[in-house]
Structure 1
């Protein structure tokens, strides 16, 4: 099904309206792909900020004031998580509060985002060279409170933004150290990212590197690859071009492009031997579509910029044509759902994440962001 970027944006807008009516004071986490009914969290978990990010984006359009008011109300509900001992709250507060400042000029959102960033700044561990996951990290029971993961690059997003907003050079330095350390720990020589690492809590020595959400310990989980490229790219856009970070981003992007299926939509894990008869992950693909658009604005050569833009357009075209409801003329599901997101298919996952085909709020956000860039409504550096 051929759709324009604007048509796809309008479908997602309709879904946003339906989500707002359905979730009440909860935060959408994932939705049943057949009914569109959301499973919600009460406190936002690590995904709640993406719902807010969608509201902040839509608030910029004509008639957007009701969405801005709703976003302000929802953002205020995040206050109890400002001091939570989890690195992953950075995603909640960057997309939920930082974007409120960047896109809507919200002073209350800005203040909340800065408060969360200052809390994370204090949690930086010089021995480890990074901000550890924390005792209350959403997956801390699986990998340990002082471990690290490529997902924790969301800390960099929040700290670089907050350092720029506040002029805090110490925070910028911590953000740079965290980003460099996490990338060095988790990126292989070939450009692929392994998700997690176990560190010596006293010396920071790398003891073990492994993937705990993918097919196997040494496999490349699609979302880990996306997190790595996203974190390195946005760190360059927000904190200033750092050649080491840019090299990590381009190396990771090239690996993705070389290994993703022909239609541009990734499997849930690149090393699943059942492929092509295994789950896709549209959420990871949406991550990369948005990230490749950003990377195409700062890549070190014109040929790379064209390459990344083309790959992003290919992925976005596949997502809106084959996975954004309705996908057929007889499709009676709620419109604007990005289906076939694989949250976590491993049986040792958190119960609230154990779903292998769903609409994932973070996947929907990144697609919506990519569509705004593709349509010219948003510059890559805006978020």
Structure 2
């Protein structure tokens, strides 16, 4: 894969992420290629099971998937996994399946949610396909239309219920590079506003009379909160003020390779998906040794023989899929392994 670039005003030729080049290539760990092959083999099995629906999470007992018709906020990760498999096999049938899945994400372009970053960036960024690039451009300009210059961000939106004017950590990754396709200044504002509001706070809601106030969902100790923000910083570090952004990376990196789903419950369920997100962010930031340690822990301890990443936690508060295989956990672990093995280059 060629290096993704920012295509916004003044952004041509800038790298999508802020990797520090060392001038030498490092060999992939011996466990990386077999693990990636197992994961991409599972993608084919899941595709046969779910058909044109989108997998969300799988039961740890029998591996069967709960699916959605439109993909919810996770549809882009399934499309991304299909593109990884197509790259791995080189088969026309795999490429066709990936392209068809990405095309089904088009319904989200004009939907009122900042989760479009998760859906439409990760669903297109690995695609070697002109239709996917056109979809990304459409999505970028649609998200720019939703940008609120007074608040300095694209609000979380109304698509999933609840108040619209909310800032959440999962509104930032994907959205920053997607916005930058249309307007680099909007991308920068979206990132910094969320970093100011969400670090340590979980989520914030805008009240017209009082301004920003704490919002209960997600909670401050949510495992993926800091992981999503770290990933967003990594995606922007090559385009924005790298020095200032890098000062935040230590704060946003969890001290444990695989964190609990909620820091307030250290003995509760783990969240391997947060660890996989963190590993990809660390790779993008040039922190390869730390990333490899996280990826090795995931492969050695949590990757099942069938190629599924177990012990992910979807929603601890609601008790939904608290120890399951999650499609975005699979995606980020597979991307991390693909970067180690050279299947994907940034």
Equivalent residue number for residue 355 of structure 1? 321
Q: Report how far residue 202 of structure 1 moved.
A: 7.0
Within-5 A mapping of 1:261-340: 264-272=257-265, 275-276=266-267, 278-296=268-286, 308-326=287-305, 335-340=306-311
Q: Is the Cα contact below 8 Å between 2:237 and 2:285 reproduced in 1?
A: no
In 1: Cα distance, 2:53 partner to 2:171 partner:
24
Unaligned runs of 5+ in 2: 1-28
**Which protein has greater RCO, CA pairs closer than 8 Å, 6+ apart?**
2
Equivalent residue number for residue 304 of structure 1? none
Q: Which has the higher helix share?
A: 1
In 1: Cα distance, 2:103 partner to 2:87 partner:
20
Equivalent residue number for residue 245 of structure 1? 245
Equivalent residue number for residue 184 of structure 1? 196
**How many residue pairs align between the two structures?**
317
**Cα deviation 1:283-330 (Å, max 9, x = unaligned):** 11111111111112xxxxxxxxxxx3222111111111111112xxxx
Q: Is the Cα contact below 8 Å between 1:229 and 1:250 reproduced in 2?
A: no
Q: Report how far residue 233 of structure 1 moved.
A: 0.9
In 2: Cα distance, 1:46 partner to 1:145 partner:
16
**Cα deviation 1:348-378 (Å, max 9, x = unaligned):** x7xxxx2201110000000000101122332
What's the TM-score once normalised by structure 2's chain length? 0.86
In 2: Cα distance, 1:242 partner to 1:184 partner:
16
Q: Does 1:109 align with 2:80?
A: no
Within-5 A mapping of 1:204-215: 205-208=211-214, 210=215, 212-214=217-219
Residues 14, 61 of structure 1: CA spacing in aligned structure 2 closer, same or farther, 3 A cutoff?
A: closer
Residues 33, 157 of structure 1: CA spacing in aligned structure 2 closer, same or farther, 3 A cutoff?
A: farther
Equivalent residue number for residue 146 of structure 2? 123
What do you get for the CA RMSD once the two structures are aligned? 1.9
**Cα deviation 1:194-231 (Å, max 9, x = unaligned):** 3200223478x3222x55234xxxx4211001011001
Equivalent residue number for residue 330 of structure 1? none
The SS at the match of 1:206 is strand
**Which of 194, 206, 222 matches 1:199?**
206
Unaligned runs of 5+ in 1: 164-170, 188-192, 297-307, 327-334
Q: Is the Cα contact below 8 Å between 2:258 and 2:271 reproduced in 1?
A: yes
The SS at the match of 1:96 is coil
Q: Report how far residue 36 of structure 1 moved.
A: 1.3
Equivalent residue number for residue 332 of structure 1? none
In 2: Cα distance, 1:318 partner to 1:249 partner:
21
Q: Does 1:157 align with 2:169?
A: no
**Cα deviation 1:224-254 (Å, max 9, x = unaligned):** 01011001111223x345433332234322x
Q: Is the Cα contact below 8 Å between 1:342 and 1:356 reproduced in 2?
A: yes
**Which of 314, 319, 323 matches 1:343?**
314
In 1: Cα distance, 2:75 partner to 2:136 partner:
14
Within-5 A mapping of 1:84-99: 84-99=111-126
Q: Is the Cα contact below 8 Å between 2:234 and 2:281 reproduced in 1?
A: yes
